[in-house]
Amino acid sequence: MTPNLVLNSRRIFLLGCGSALLVTAGCVTTTGPAKVDGATDDTRAALPLVNELRKKHGLSPLSASVPTGRAAAEQAVRMAKANQMSHLIGFGDDYGARMKRNDVPLPAAENIASGQTTVTEAVQAWIDSPKHLQNMLGSYNRVGVAVARSPSTNRTYWAMVLSA
């Protein structure tokens, strides 16, 4: 192989790698469903319900985001595995570290629920809870909603993450 051909091959390879890195980095801000094994991303089903609520209160709509969806899915799975509805599960659990690990922009808030069979029921439970309602009416731009089932009891665990 001639030196120019090797150099051109390396450039093409590096350009290809750079494109792959750009695509991967771009995934953080796309609005497709978040993927976490054991969870179902229900953001698309929850979004019209939450945005209708916000509209009634004169607030701008939220949009779906992969980081908030991924953080919600992670929390739903964690609760389902522990069979416990809690923001913090286990010694040393750290909400801020979880948000950072999932690239969720701060400030952020988290709503959780358990036992509801549909996303409509979960959103209604949050509307009926003053602190959860306050989160949904907060100064946020993005949202992710996910559900997971306990492997031992089949109980549902829901999580909503809202962020700036």
Q: What secondary structure letter does DSSP report for 105?
A: P
Tens digit of each residue's pLDDT (9 = 90 or more) over 79-97: 999 988 878 777 777 888 9
What confidence score (pLDDT) does residue 5 get?
37
Q: pTM for this structure?
A: 0.77
Please give the angle made by the CA atoms of 63, 60 and 40, to the nearest 5 degrees. Answer: 25
pLDDT along the chain (164 residues), means of 10: 38 31 28 68 96 98 96 94 83 85 94 96 97 97 96 95 96
pLDDT value of position 94: 85
User: Which pLDDT score is estimated for 27?
Assistant: 28
Arch. (CATH architecture) of 37-161? 3-Layer(aba) Sandwich (3.40)
Q: Which residues, in sequence order, are bridge partners of residue 39?
A: 148
Where on the phi/psi map is residue 103: left (φ > 0), alpha (ψ -120 to 50), or beta? left
> CB neighbours of 51 closer than 8 A, spacing ≥ 6?
61, 62
